[in-house]
């Protein structure tokens, strides 16, 4: 796992296409994941920004 072996802050980017994937990535926070970049999923409306923010702000 990159988060664990890198030992620094990690940003997830690329290929995120669902709220379920965002929830799964949220679980990596304790290992050093500090954020994610969501691009195409927002403008194709596969992911709603308000829902992604709710997940991001939730307590792990």
The 10s digit of each residue's pLDDT in 1-59 is: 577 777 778 899 989 999 999 999 999 898 889 999 999 999 999 999 999 999 999 98
Structural domain boundaries enclosing 20:
2-57
The CA-based diameter of the chain, rounded to the nearest angstrom, is: 34
E-strand ranges in 1-60 read 10-13, 33-37
pLDDT computed for residue 56 by the predictor: 93
Distance CA 9, CA 44 (A): 28
- As given in the structure block, the two tokens for residue 35 are 């954020």
In this prediction the pTM is 0.82
Total domain count for the chain? 1
Looking up tokens 């709710």, which residue turns up? 54
């Amino acid at each position: 796992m990159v988060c664990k072996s890198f030992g620094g802050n990690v940003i997830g980017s690329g290929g995120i296409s669902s709220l379920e994937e965002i929830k799964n990535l949220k679980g990596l926070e304790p290992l050093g994941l500090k954020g994610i970049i969501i691009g195409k999923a927002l403008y194709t409306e596969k992911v709603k920004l308000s829902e992604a923010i709710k997940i991001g702000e939730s307590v792990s």
